[in-house]
Structure 1
Amino acid sequence: MPRRRRLRKIVAPPGFKGYKPYGHRPNNRSVELLYEEYEAIKLADYDLMNQLEASKLMGISRATFARIYETARRKIAEALVETKEIRAVYGHAHMDESWYVCNRCNARFNLPDCSTSDCCPMCQSKNIETIITNKEE
């Protein structure tokens, strides 16, 4: 029986739902980039962390981080070369705080900023939904 998978810690969800190739006919082909893969790319390539630092931040081993990072790079390369859409999807991850998305302006935020009830801090719409809640298995 395989070991139980540990949840990967994500600081913030991606600020996008997806990317589409520009100047190419739309098709139904897409690549699903998991939140933990996005986080690995962000930490290693954008924040310029080494794999050991990034793996500690995500709460996983360095080898697991390397596998996630490699998978993310391959998916992004596939999307670029084969002109596929990249869709950000929830994977096997958890966050320290709950995050929300506004269905009106697509803003993503972690602290609703209305005095009476939850609403979008950008457009004040009450049409928001939870992206991720704190969850442990």
Structure 2
Amino acid sequence: MPRPKIARRISCRPAYQCFKPNGVPMTELTAIPLAADELEALKLVDMNGLNQQAAAQVLGVSRQTLGNIVASARHKVASALVGGMALELASPPQRDREKE
């Protein structure tokens, strides 16, 4: 049985639900899902320029876990760009207010 996932601190919502090649209908494309924590990790490390230790603290995970998330996200983005596939962006899950 795998360990339960630690809750991540996601601060951004994607502007769109997907990115795809121009002029190709979505029905004709293979879609690659990009999780909310993968998008947040890319934003923190690649766009904001944080080092992995600082980004891991913001996301609320270990540095090793952040490194794994970033590697997975970069692989998905590169595969979509090179292979002409769509990226489906997941919105972060809604937190249950009753548990807080």
Deviation sequence 1:32-83 (CA, Å, 0-9, x none): 1111000010000110000000000010000000000000000000000110
Offset at 1:16? 1.5
Any gaps of 5 or more consecutive residues in structure 2? none
Tell me which of the two structures has the higher relative contact order, counting C-alpha pairs closer than 8 angstroms and 6 or more residues apart: 2
- Within-5 A mapping of 1:79-90: 79-90=80-91
| Structure in which a larger fraction of residues adopt helix | 2
Number of residue pairs aligned between Structure 1 and Structure 2: 95
Corresponding residue of 2:13: 13
The correspondence for 1:134, drawn from 91, 95, 99, is 95
What RMSD in Å do the two structures reach over aligned CA positions?
1.6
| Structure in which a larger fraction of residues adopt strand | 1
Query: What is the TM-score of this pair, normalised by structure 1?
Result: 0.64
Provide runs of 4+ in structure 1 moved above 4 Å.
none
% of aligned pairs identical? 34
Corresponding residue of 1:66: 67
Distance 1:42 1:21 in 2: 21
Query: What is the TM-score of this pair, normalised by structure 2?
Result: 0.85
Any gaps of 5 or more consecutive residues in structure 1? 94-131
